[in-house]
Amino acid sequence: MDLKAIIESDARYRNVLQAIIDTPYIERSTLEEKLNLPRADLESLLTVLSEKMLILELAGQADSSVESRVLKTVYLVNPEEEKGIREQL
């Protein structure tokens, strides 16, 4: 399934990709708030985009030293796919 087919299959993919392009290294919690999607729906959208290598899921340490053992997940559009994604949005 190519990018165009993915976006046309569900408009929410476009919203997710746009949010990640607008805010690189966006945290999952921020993405949830910005898109106002149920957690399960967002998870399934992110899984498909990640499996197709359209977005990259990165894990890093939390900002606070108190939470330093808790990993935060951030998302970034795959730089190799970014031009094509921007053209589809």
* Residue 79: DSSP 8-state: T
Q: What is the pTM of this model?
A: 0.85
Tell me the per-residue pLDDT of 8-31, one tens digit each, with 9 for 90 and over.
Answer: 999 999 999 999 999 999 998 899
Phi and psi at 10, nearest 5°, equal: -160, 120
pLDDT band at 71 (very low <50, low <70, confident <90, very high): confident
Which amino acid belongs to residue 34? K
Contact yes or no for 22/75 (Cβ under 8 A) = no
Beta bridge partners of 57: 75
Is 3-88 a CATH 3.10.105.10 domain? no
Tell me the per-residue pLDDT of 29-46, one tens digit each, with 9 for 90 and over.
Answer: 899 999 999 999 999 999
